[in-house]
Amino acid sequence: MDELTYVTDAKVVSHRRVAAGCRRLVLAAPEIARAVRPGQFLHVRCDGTADPLLRRPLSVHDADRERGTVTILYRVVGRGTALLAQKKQGGRVNVLGPLGRGFDPPAEHRRVAVVGGGIGIAPLFFLARELSADPLKRVPRRAVTVFQGARTAAELDVADFTTLPVNLFTATDDGSRGHAGSVVELFLDTVCHEPVDWVSAAGPPGMLRALAGALETLGLSGEFSLEERMGCGIGACVCCSCRIGAPDRWEYRRVCADGPVFGAREVVWE
Ligand SMILES: Cc1cc2nc3c(=O)[nH]c(=O)nc-3n(C[C@H](O)[C@H](O)[C@H](O)COP(=O)(O)OP(=O)(O)OC[C@H]3O[C@@H](n4cnc5c(N)ncnc54)[C@H](O)[C@@H]3O)c2cc1C
Ligand code: FES
């Protein structure tokens, strides 16, 4: 944990449903809003009690440094997120963060593709916004192309990329909006005529693995945000290990402290 990590009882500014089973939570957490970078996450105590005991890792979907707020976009999948879903406006949520190593597209790459599947899109909105139009000019403006995939059109609406100065391509499994099929197919079809020179991605392991193959074929570099079940969230318990290196020479690294973002070519898939 570095010096820019805070633990705070953040006030719920707003909390609403954005699609079936998905919610957007805005928290007042000025120190975290100032310190956080795209791809970092918060470790969230979903209830005020010790049940469930462990915090849950949730990416920062967006941060407003002037208003001092951070936004989380999450899917309710189990006990922790179900408890979090009950938090009301004006209530408190204890969060620890910002944690982890976020996205870092090298400055020389001016055309960045942002590829997300399902709720994996959560950390990519913040990245796309900062890369395309950072009001603080901390990150130089770049040409950003977003590839968003989901099961249905309703699930695409969890994040509104139309508010950003980006090129947006969408794919749905059921064909209800955009390309009918996988977001990786759409990415492959599109970059032939709209070249990019870096890819930042997050999503289910199957999607990332297919995308890794596509990047290999195209000779493109990039970075992936990985998800593993977490305990401490700060690098102490080693329960969030993933394999990083080359297929014949890899080592275990901690997703919480060494990631969650790793080089696309470094991830050794199980
Ligand atoms: C760095 C990081 C960032 C994340 N960001 C987001 C986000 O922005 N939005 C979001 O909706 N989810 C995100 N997740 C996943 C989220 O942490 C889990 O969905 C959550 O912890 C589930 O808690 P629960 O108590 O509701 O479910 P549990 O009862 O603990 O588990 C329910 C189901 O979810 C699976 N699951 C639990 N934890 C994880 C995990 N860490 N990774 C993958 N599957 C898991 C379990 O295997 C089980 O099938 C992130 C995970 C990591 C590691
Ligand atoms: S969750 Fe404890 S080391 Fe990563």
State residue 50's pLDDT score. Answer: 66
Q: Confirm or reject CATH 3.90.1010.10 for domain 228-270, answering yes or no.
A: no
Q: Is 83 annotated as a binding residue?
A: no
Mean pLDDT within 20-48: 95
State residue 134's pLDDT score. Answer: 59
Q: Which residue's CA lies nearest to atom 17 of ligand 1?
A: 57
111-225 adopts what CATH topology? Answer: Rossmann fold (3.40.50)
State residue 270's pLDDT score. Answer: 81
**What residue ranges of the chain are covered by domains with CATH 3.40.50.80?**
111-225
State residue 49's pLDDT score. Answer: 66
Q: Give, in order, the Cα–Cα distances in Å from 199 to each of 58, 103, 123, 228.
A: 22, 10, 14, 21
Q: Are 39 and 103 in contact (CB under 8 A)?
A: yes
Identify which of 67, 66, 65, 62 has the alpha carbon closest to the alpha carbon of residue 13. 67
Closest ligand relative to 261 C-alpha = 1
Residue 267 CA, ligand 2 centroid: distance in Å = 18
For the stretch 189-242, pLDDT in tens is 999 898 999 999 999 999 999 999 999 999 999 999 999 999 999 999 989 999
C-alpha–C-alpha distance, residues 145 and 199, integer Å: 9
**What residue ranges of the chain are covered by domains with CATH 2.10.240.10?**
228-270
Which band of pLDDT confidence, cut at 50, 70 and 90, is reported for residue 24?
very high
Identify which of 125, 123, 266, 107 has the alpha carbon closest to the alpha carbon of residue 197. 107
* pLDDT over threshold 80, residue 40: yes
53, 226, 234, 262, best to mutate for ligand 2 pocket (most atoms within 8 Å of CB): 234
Q: What tokens were used for 254?
A: 């901690």
State residue 4's pLDDT score. Answer: 85
Mean pLDDT within 249-258: 96
Question: In sequence order, what are the residues at sequence separation of 6 or more whose Cβ sits closer than 8 angstroms to the Cβ of residue 73?
Answer: 18, 22, 23, 24, 25, 59, 61, 119, 121, 122, 125, 158, 159
Secondary element (H or E) of residue 212: helix 205-218
* pLDDT over threshold 80, residue 1: no
State residue 168's pLDDT score. Answer: 96
State residue 51's pLDDT score. Answer: 64
233 lines ligand 2 (CB under 6 A): yes
Mean pLDDT within 48-70: 88
* pLDDT over threshold 80, residue 139: no
Q: Pocket around ligand 1: residues whose beta carbon is below 6 Å from it?
A: 41, 52, 56-59, 73-75, 77-81, 119, 122, 227-230, 255, 260
Q: Is 118 annotated as a binding residue?
A: no
* pLDDT over threshold 70, residue 62: yes
* pLDDT over threshold 60, residue 2: no
State residue 3's pLDDT score. Answer: 64
Mean pLDDT within 32-57: 88
**What residue ranges of the chain are covered by domains with CATH 2.40.30.10?**
6-99
For the stretch 140-159, pLDDT in tens is 578 999 999 999 999 999 99
- Report the share of the chain in percent with pLDDT over 90: 89
226 lines ligand 2 (CB under 6 A): no
Residue 76 CA, ligand 1 centroid: distance in Å = 9
C-alpha–C-alpha distance, residues 118 and 128, integer Å: 16
Task: Spell out the CATH class of 6-99.
Answer: mainly beta
Mean pLDDT within 55-81: 96
